[in-house]
Amino acid sequence: MIHMAKSKLEYIWLDGYQPTQSLRSKTKIVDDFSGDVADAPIWSFDGSSTEQASGNASDCQLKPVACFPDPDRFGGNGFLIMCEVLNADGSPHESNGRATIDEDDDDFWFGFEQEYTIIDPETSLPLGFPKDGYPAPQGPYYTGVGTGKAFGRELVDEHLHLCLEAGLNVEGINGEVMMGQWEFQIFAKGAGRSGDEIWVGRYLLERTAEKYGLSIDFHPKPIKGDWNGSGMHANFSNGTMRGAGDETIFTKICESFGQNIQEHIAVYGADNDQRLTGLHETQSIDKFSYGAFDRGASIRIPIGTIEDGWKGRLEDRRPASNADPYKVAAVIIKTTKKALA
């Protein structure tokens, strides 16, 4: 009798909830899986339970688009399968942001800075916040070291390890400005791939937090008042920008972003108006500005781009932490292409 190896494939997708989609996942057991996404079968699910279909025609399909080894599956032999959602007829579901990306090569490179807040379910407040009142004002928590300054480091470090083991291109982590707030950065070539890696990184973060009895909040302003919000700064470049050597190219792109404010804000995350106030290193949501070194600008021109002779990236500081990276990348590509047409 031939014994086939059983693999646990965790199919991950985005549901149809509005205005902010949540992650969903379920496990499929496959014999002798190669580890190649092309060998992961399309799988149907009940879309009526995820706001993606009505009860009388509830079938939706999961189309695998990326595969990563699952470093933390009990017993091993697990894989993380990032999926697009399709309608029963195979067309992209309206909730499928990945399908809106107009890019057939990896000319665009993205580096996303994903901020998030660790929440203590017992208090429903960021980890470290006292049950009543407030902690000391922000200042010591950004990249803070030591008890009373860094909260949740064990979870954060485990998440980093798991991301690297899964093959995600994480470039770093750090404690952020608000108590209990952290960030990880992911860089990838190609809009689809960068979105896949952010979503799988978020999935691993939420699943790891389960083990610690903690939850993750991606809301852009979890605590009102004089506290920093959470963003997902989008660093981007394409071949033209990386080889330009011409300030006017970058000016043209920035000006084009300024002419398409609403189109961008529409996909930059729900409740982003609570974060983009003109305070706490942000530009106001209804205004647009760009400039070198300016962390209060909508788009920051990094010093490296200028020092390299106007070659490199721009940083759009407006996307919120709860934004869909697929939709963010899609609109950035659209506006950049329009500027350079």
pLDDT, tens digit (0-9, with 9 covering 90-100), for 176-185 = 999 999 999 9
Task: Count the residues in the chain.
Answer: 341
Report phi then psi at 153, rounded to 5. Answer: -60, -35
pLDDT band at 133 (very low <50, low <70, confident <90, very high): confident
Residue 104 has pLDDT above 90, yes or no: no
Q: How far apart are CA 298 and CA 252, in angstroms?
A: 15
- Whole-number pLDDT of residue 296: 87
b/e code 287-296 from CB counts within 10 Å (16+ = b): ebebeeeeee
Q: How far apart are CA 262 and CA 210, in angstroms?
A: 36
Span 114-120, average pLDDT: 98
Half-sphere exposure of 294 (CA within 13 A, CB side): 17
Span 140-165, average pLDDT: 98
Among candidates 104, 59, 60, 64, which has minimal Cα distance to 84?
64
Residue 51 has pLDDT above 90, yes or no: yes
Spatial CB neighbours of 169, under 8 Å, sequence gap ≥ 6: 186, 187, 188, 197
Span 270-296, average pLDDT: 92
Report phi then psi at 109, rounded to 5. Answer: -110, 140
Query: Lowest-confidence range among 86-95, 103-112, 166-175, 307-316?
Result: 103-112
CATH 3.10.20.70 in the chain, residues? 6-96
Average pLDDT over the chain, rounded to an integer: 95
pLDDT band at 56 (very low <50, low <70, confident <90, very high): confident
Q: Which CATH superfamily is domain 109-340 in?
A: Glutamine synthetase/guanido kinase, catalytic domain (3.30.590.10)
Q: What is the pTM of this model?
A: 0.96
The angle formed by the CA atoms of residues 258, 332 and 284, to the nearest 5 degrees, is: 40
- Whole-number pLDDT of residue 162: 98
Q: How far apart are CA 227 and CA 240, in angstroms?
A: 38
pLDDT, tens digit (0-9, with 9 covering 90-100), for 75-103 = 989 999 999 999 999 999 999 999 999 88
Among candidates 204, 233, 205, 200, which has minimal Cα distance to 217?
205
Q: How far apart are CA 137 and CA 236, in angstroms?
A: 33
Q: Look up residue 14 and give its two tokens.
A: 């985005």
pLDDT band at 4 (very low <50, low <70, confident <90, very high): confident
Prior bond of 19 cis (ω within 30°):
yes
DSSP 8-state class, residue 307: H
Task: Say whether domain 6-96 belongs to CATH 3.10.20.70.
Answer: yes
CATH 3.30.590.10 in the chain, residues? 109-340
DSSP per-residue letters across 160-208 = HHHHHHHT--EEEEEE-SSTTEEEEEEEEESHHHHHHHHHHHHHHHHHH
- Whole-number pLDDT of residue 2: 64
pLDDT, tens digit (0-9, with 9 covering 90-100), for 175-229 = 999 999 999 999 999 999 999 999 999 999 999 999 999 999 999 999 999 999 9
Residue 3 has pLDDT above 70, yes or no: no
Q: Look up residue 86 and give its two tokens.
A: 């399709």
The angle formed by the CA atoms of residues 42, 109 and 61, to the nearest 5 degrees, is: 15
Q: Classify the C-alpha dihedral 315-317-320-321 as positive or negative.
A: positive
DSSP per-residue letters across 246-284 = -HHHHHHHHHHHHT-HHHHHTTS-TTGGGT-SS-SS---
- Whole-number pLDDT of residue 76: 87
